[in-house]
């Protein structure tokens, strides 16, 4: 059973967290401009063995705050969630894409509370100037034209071109999230990502068990690029998931859950 709880974070912001199951805590951090429902198959499929938590990050889903923030602020929000649900216990944080940027900041700021890290379809590098310019353009445009108009071009790039059973439901679910994202949240998210820190030089300092995951057809964070940086993390294992693009948790949930469950059971140091 999935419970939805609302907790107050710093500055009086309200954050909704989906919570399911008991056991070692797995905290899932969604991508941009999505919300916790991208993790529905993990909340359902992993909560028989683990306590799965999936927050709506600032401004997304039903969480509040459309003011400017940084990726470091989002990492501190995760620490608030950890403290609320797990108290003194260590957790595993799993972030996809933008969620991966937040997971890396969480490691840097609160790494002593991590039993392991899962980085899915993400990258440690900061953006080059063209990407920053595109982000700032979207941040401006979305307020004028609305979220769907500003973000719908992302949709084909999120998915593998395979039309496996269930693919159309995935497209519809993603479109629903893009449509319901608040323009101000999209703008604040783009600004925060444009300003984020580079982690490439810090990968060698990650000593905790780490699982890296990437879809074979991910056009945003490609497997080739992921292989290049994953091998710089001492304790990292890389799994490339067949028939998935940028969204393996939604496109190929069984394969994704299998990799995560194996990592939590055999590698994470809870």
> Count of CB atoms within 10 A of residue 76's CB?
17
What's the CA gap between 224 and 88, in Å, rounded? 38
Q: How far is the CB of 178 from ligand MLT (least distance, A)?
A: 11
Q: Using CA of residue 87, residue 92, residue 98, residue 101, what is the dihedral sign?
A: positive
Instruction: Return the number of the residue (220 or 238) whose C-beta is nearest ligand MLT.
Output: 220
Among 98, 208, 212, 244, indicate the residue that binds ligand MLT (CB under 6 A): 98
Q: Is it true that the peptide bond before 33 is cis, omega within 30 degrees of 0?
A: yes
Among 104, 178, 193, 244, indicate the residue that binds ligand MLT (CB under 6 A): 193
Instruction: Return the number of the residue (95 or 209) whose C-beta is nearest ligand MLT.
Output: 95
Q: How far is the CB of 112 from ligand MLT (least distance, A)?
A: 26
Phi-psi region of 262 (alpha: psi -120 to 50; beta: other; left: phi over 0): alpha
Q: Is position 17 an interface residue for ligand MLT (rule: CB under 6 A)?
A: no
Q: How far is the CB of 205 from ligand MLT (least distance, A)?
A: 23
Query: Looking at 74-209, which runs of residues are DSSP E strands?
Result: 91-96, 114-120
Q: Is position 220 an interface residue for ligand MLT (rule: CB under 6 A)?
A: yes
Q: Is position 32 an interface residue for ligand MLT (rule: CB under 6 A)?
A: yes
Residues near ligand MLT (CB under 6 A), total: 6
Nearest CA to 233 out of 219, 213, 253 is that of 213
Binding pattern for the stretch 153-192 against ligand MLT, x by CB under 6 A and - elsewhere: ----------------------------------------
Instruction: Return the number of the residue (35 or 267) whose C-beta is nearest ligand MLT.
Output: 35
H or E segment to which residue 44 belongs: helix 40-45
Among 64, 97, 160, 210, indicate the residue that binds ligand MLT (CB under 6 A): 97
What's the CA gap between 139 and 181, in Å, rounded? 13
Q: How far is the CB of 196 from ligand MLT (least distance, A)?
A: 9
Instruction: Judge contact between 257 and 42, C-beta under 8 A.
Output: yes
Question: What tokens were used for 174?
Answer: 């993603």
Q: How far is the CB of 267 from ligand MLT (least distance, A)?
A: 25
Q: Is position 252 an interface residue for ligand MLT (rule: CB under 6 A)?
A: no
Query: Looking at the chain, which runs of residues are DSSP E strands?
Result: 3-8, 14-20, 25-29, 51-55, 91-96, 114-120, 210-215, 236-241
Among residue numbers 107 through 136, which ones bind ligand MLT (CB under 6 A)?
none
Q: Is position 60 an interface residue for ligand MLT (rule: CB under 6 A)?
A: no
Binding residues for ligand MLT, rule: CB under 6 A, are 31-32, 97-98, 193, 220
């Amino acid at each position: 059973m999935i419970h939805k709880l609302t907790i107050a974070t710093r500055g009086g912001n309200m954050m909704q967290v989906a919570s399911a199951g008991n056991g070692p805590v797995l905290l899932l951090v969604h991508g941009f401009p999505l919300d916790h429902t991208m993790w529905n198959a993990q909340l359902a499929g992993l909560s028989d063995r683990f306590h799965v938590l999936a927050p709506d990050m600032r401004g997304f889903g039903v969480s509040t705050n459309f003011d400017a923030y940084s990726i470091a602020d989002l990492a501190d929000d995760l620490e608030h969630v950890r403290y609320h649900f797990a108290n003194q216990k260590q957790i595993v944080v799993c972030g996809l894409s933008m969620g991966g940027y937040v997971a890396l900041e969480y490691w840097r700021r609160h790494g002593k509370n991590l039993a392991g890290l899962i980085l899915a379809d993400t990258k440690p590098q900061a953006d080059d100037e063209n990407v920053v310019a595109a982000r700032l353009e979207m941040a401006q445009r979305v307020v004028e034209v609305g979220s769907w108009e500003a973000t719908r071009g992302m949709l084909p790039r999120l998915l593998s071109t395979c039309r496996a059973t269930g693919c159309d439901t995935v497209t519809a679910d993603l479109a629903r999230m893009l449509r319901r994202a608040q323009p101000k949240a999209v703008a604040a998210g783009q600004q925060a990502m444009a300003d984020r820190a580079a982690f490439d030089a810090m990968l060698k300092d990650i000593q905790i068990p780490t699982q890296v995951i990437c879809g074979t057809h991910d056009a945003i964070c490609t497997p080739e690029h992921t292989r290049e940086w994953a091998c710089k993390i001492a304790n990292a294992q890389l799994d490339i998931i067949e028939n998935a693009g940028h969204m393996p948790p939604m496109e190929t949930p069984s394969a994704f859950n299998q990799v995560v469950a194996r990592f939590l059971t055999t590698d994470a140091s809870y």
